[in-house]
Amino acid sequence: ALMALSHALLIGARSALSLYLGVCLCGLAYGALWTLVPTLSVELYGLRHFAATYGVFSIAATAASLLYSTELATKVFDAHATAAREGDEGEGPQCDGDACFRLTHVVVIAGCVAGAIGAALLTLRTREFYMNTLAKIE
């Protein structure tokens, strides 16, 4: 949810402050996720299969990052970019405005919402197990 909020801020960033806030929230959400991945991997799949499940988590994140950055963001930018005029500084296509990456942010937000729904379903599914575990401790 925090990652979705950060991308929503980045879509509507009209000032440097909102841009910095969106980037900081994105980094916080990403860092928080990766500190929890080892624990989640052990809790959900056991220590015996830790290396395999941690590897799957890592490959999934890498694959999604690759698809979002090289395929989606590039295609969206190219669709909104215009060729540089003769004599302009810089080379290649240029794009001004939030339309350059708006669709990319919307797709990432949709992925974050799907992930949040998945996390909520996982919480509901494992709730009884953790309630029983806490009852045994007390």
Q: What is the pLDDT of residue 110?
A: 95
Q: What are the start-end ranges of the H helices in 50-101?
A: 50-66, 73-80
Tens-place pLDDT, residues 97-108: 778 888 999 999
Q: CA-CA distance, 111 to 116, in Å (whole number)?
A: 9
Supply the pTM of this predicted model. Answer: 0.77
70's CB contacts (< 8 A; 6+ apart) are none
- What the block records as the tokens of 132 is 């029983």
Give the mean model confidence (pLDDT) for residues 16-25: 92
Give the mean model confidence (pLDDT) for residues 99-124: 91
Give the mean model confidence (pLDDT) for residues 68-92: 76
Q: What is the pLDDT of residue 90?
A: 63
- H helix count then E strand count, the chain: 5, 0
Q: What is the pLDDT of residue 89?
A: 65
Would you place residue 63 in the very low, low, confident or very high pLDDT band (cuts 50, 70, 90)?
very high
